[in-house]
């Protein structure tokens, strides 16, 4: 995670161009995933990717003639790997695989998650290590560009032998089965009907291809990429909220001294402190009370804010690295290794040096553990944010010069009292979500798959944690912006005042009691849009 002067975030927001995301034998970026999954960016496949796929496909077809067993190509799957399949049944084997493994349950995954999964699956195939024909990647590309999104039940993957059930739901739509969402429609339609309307034909699977479609960490990796993007925006917004709360509480700025963080060897804390100094630069609230009513020390939620958010920053750096690694990976099994890019005439170059290698690249633990860490990091962003909301609404320190619950007429009015309750409720749920999913185990596949990652469960927890944390930070911004009003005509720093003005574009000052749900939602929308960065 590169250092930014004003914002602690891992993924830079960029203006989305009309250019498609081009799939090559190389990797994808988090920005690519966001663009395709959320913004509908088109996808194209490079000639190099087509060449790589043809080369690995030639290896599969060559090996099928040597009489040897190859896992999932001419054998059964999982604990049935010792069952040899006749050549005449190889296509049926793959069809049976995707149908039988489409066994998920629960609410469908969000469209953005499924589009991300399709992108990652297509990108993995394009790296030329899965032994599939280019037509499979082209079918996924076509469906992405037409906006045909498979209905994928959210529960079913144990995150080890690939995200099998969710990916099988996608694979079924490639062959014309299952259901899809179409552009502008909230209700799914049968895939065959949508394909007929779009004038595209289902693909017919050949040897190895069903397995290649359902093996891989594409669900949990998509979630990781999108959540890293969202968590970076959250951290930047939380830093702004902390700066606003410092002035709202009339706190000292002594704990922003760079020398403190150098002594701790705390680089990320030092970066957060620098951002806070920038945001507060020019504050007359700060200079007024430091000259006339100096504070010696402040509560931890203020004084330790840079240290806590710095620790989160460091954690997000590691999580982003793990997500990025997965976007460059091939998590299929077995892998089909050709000697190089052989071009269109790949068949004539296949030799005994090419290989089909079975392993466990599909195991999700490299993603599951970081996703568990993400839920913990988000718990700390929210936890310390809620404590500052409590300070501003409930502490009633004379030095703060704030009214109880920031109500214009305390007693007659409750002001922002219950907004803090809501933040506390969110934090309570976040505590439960911080319990890791990856540390427990249940065996599957008659014991062949005896240690699973549970990465999809870790992803689902982290997704909920992002939602809750966003609301907690939004509540702090709501409360701090009202507290800043009570210090007028003094003003905060330029960066804080910019954030205050932004909040006032969607939420007016509190002049009398009103319903606060819409206010919180409006500020949460600004956070999700990256407006505080």
pLDDT in tens, 243-293: 999 999 999 999 999 999 999 999 999 999 999 999 999 999 998 877 777
Tell me what pLDDT residue 80 has: 79
Measuring CA to CA, how many Å separate 59 from each of 86, 144, 360?
A: 19, 28, 20
Give the phi and the psi of residue 526 in degrees, each rounded to 5.
-65, -40
* Three-state secondary-structure class, residue 21: strand
Is residue 427 predicted with pLDDT exceeding 90? Answer: yes
Contact 226, 33 (CB under 8 A): yes
pLDDT at 191 over 50: yes
pLDDT tens for residues 199-252?
999 999 999 999 999 999 999 999 999 999 999 999 999 999 999 999 999 999
**Angle, nearest 10°, between helix axes 218-248 and 305-326?**
160
Decide: helix, strand or coil at residue 323. Answer: helix
Among the options 62, 70, 71, 421, which is catalytic?
71
Residue 9 has pLDDT above 70, yes or no: no
pLDDT attached to residue 13: 36
Are 196 and 4 contacting, i.e. CB atoms less than 8 angstroms apart? no
**pLDDT over 50 at 435, yes or no:** yes
**How much is the pLDDT for 38?**
97
pLDDT number for residue 14: 37
What is the reported pLDDT for 5? 37
| Dihedral of alpha carbons 302, 307, 310, 316, sign | negative
For residue 393, give the DSSP letter: I
Pairing of strands 21-23, 43-45: parallel
Q: How far is 486 from 483, CA to CA, in rounded Å?
A: 5
pLDDT (tens digit, 9 = 90+) per residue, 320-348?
A: 999 999 999 999 999 999 875 444 434 44
Residue 417 has pLDDT above 60, yes or no: yes
Q: Which helix (H) or strand (E) holds 189?
A: strand 189-190
Share of the chain above pLDDT 70, in %: 92
Q: Which long-range contacts (CB under 8 A, 24 or more apart) does 482-486 make?
A: 482/406, 482/415, 482/416, 482/509, 482/510, 483/245, 483/248, 483/249, 483/392, 483/402, 483/406, 484/244, 484/247, 484/248, 484/285, 485/509, 486/401, 486/402, 486/403, 486/406
H or E, element range at 23 = strand 21-23
pLDDT of 32 > 90? The answer is: yes
- The confidence score (pLDDT) of residue 83 equals 87
Give the C-alpha separation, 443 to 104, whole Å.
17
Domain map (residue ranges) of the chain: 21-216+332-361, 225-322+366-502
Tokens of 226: 């999108």
**Residue 122 pLDDT:** 98
The arithmetic mean of pLDDT across residues 300-326, rounded, is: 98
Active site includes 71? yes
Quick check: 122 and 232 in contact, CB under 8 A?
Answer: no
- Is a pLDDT exceeding 80 seen at residue 132? yes
pLDDT above 70 (res 107): yes
Q: Say whether pLDDT at 41 is over 70.
A: yes
pLDDT at 395: 67
CA-based radius of gyration for the chain: 27
pLDDT tens for 91-101 read 999 999 999 99
As a whole number of angstroms, the distance between CA 11 and CA 108 comes to: 27
How far is 322 from 327, CA to CA, in rounded Å? 9
Mean of the per-residue pLDDT values for the chain? 91
Domain 225-322+366-502: give its CATH code.
1.20.200.10
Choices 1.10.540.10, 3.40.1190.20, 3.40.50.1820, 1.10.275.10: CATH for 21-216+332-361:
1.10.275.10
- CA 468 to chain centroid, in Å, comes to 15
């Amino acid at each position: 995670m590169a250092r930014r002067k004003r914002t602690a975030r891992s993924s830079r927001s960029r203006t989305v161009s009309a250019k498609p995301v081009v799939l090559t034998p190389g990797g994808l970026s988090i920005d690519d995933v966001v663009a395709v999954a959320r913004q509908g960016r088109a996808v194209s496949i490079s000639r190099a990717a087509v060449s790589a796929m043809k080369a690995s496909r030639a290896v599969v077809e060559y090996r099928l003639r040597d009489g040897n067993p190859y896992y999932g190509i001419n054998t059964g799957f999982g604990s049935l790997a010792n069952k040899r399949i006749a050549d005449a049944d190889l296509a049926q084997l793959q069809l049976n695989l995707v149908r039988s493994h489409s066994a998920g349950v629960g609410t469908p995954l969000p469209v953005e998650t499924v589009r991300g999964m399709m992108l990652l699956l297509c990108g993995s195939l394009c790296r030329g290590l899965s032994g599939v024909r280019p037509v499979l990647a082209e079918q996924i590309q076509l469906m992405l560009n037409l906006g045909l999104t498979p209905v994928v039940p959210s529960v079913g993957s144990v995150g080890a032998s690939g995200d099998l059930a969710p990916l099988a739901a996608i694979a079924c739509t490639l062959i014309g089965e299952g259901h899809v969402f179409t552009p502008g429609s909230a209700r799914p339609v049968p895939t065959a009907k949508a394909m007929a309307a779009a004038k595209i034909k289902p693909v017919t699977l050949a040897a190895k291809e069903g397995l290649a479609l359902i093996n891989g960490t594409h669900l949990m990796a998509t979630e990781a990429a999108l959540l890293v993007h969202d968590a970076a925006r959250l951290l930047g917004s939380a830093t702004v909220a902390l700066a606003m709360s410092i002035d709202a509480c009339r706190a000292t700025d002594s704990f922003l001294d760079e020398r403190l963080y150098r002594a701790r060897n705390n680089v990320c804390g030092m970066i957060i402190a620098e951002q806070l100094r920038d945001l507060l630069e020019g504050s007359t609230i700060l200079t007024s009370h430091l000259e006339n009513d100096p504070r010696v020390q402040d509560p931890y939620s203020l004084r330790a804010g840079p240290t806590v958010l710095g620790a989160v920053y460091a954690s997000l750096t590691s999580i982003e690295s793990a997500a990025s690694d997965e976007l460059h990976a091939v998590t299929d099994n077995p892998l089909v290794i050709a000697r190089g890019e052989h071009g269109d005439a790949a068949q004539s170059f296949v030799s005994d040096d090419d290989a089909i290698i079975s392993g466990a690249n599909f195991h999700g633990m490299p993603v599951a553990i970081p996703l568990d860490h993400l839920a913990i990091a988000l718990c700390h962003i929210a936890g310390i944010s809620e404590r500052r909301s409590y300070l501003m609404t409930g502490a009633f320190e004379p030095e703060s010069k704030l009214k109880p619950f920031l109500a214009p007429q305390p007693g007659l009015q409750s002001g922002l009292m219950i907004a803090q309750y809501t933040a506390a409720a969110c934090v309570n749920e976040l505590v439960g979500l911080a319990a890791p999913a990856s540390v427990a185990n249940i065996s599957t596949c008659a014991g062949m798959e005896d240690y699973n990652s549970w990465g999809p469960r870790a992803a689902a927890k982290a997704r909920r944690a992002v939602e809750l944390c966003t609301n907690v930070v939004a509540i702090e911004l709501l409360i701090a912006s009202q507290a800043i009003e009570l210090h007028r005509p003094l003003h905060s720093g330029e960066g804080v005042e910019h954030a205050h003005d932004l909040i006032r574009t969607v939420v007016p000052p509190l002049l009398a009691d009103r319903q606060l749900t819409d206010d919180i939602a409006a500020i949460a929308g600004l956070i999700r849009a990256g407006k505080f960065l």
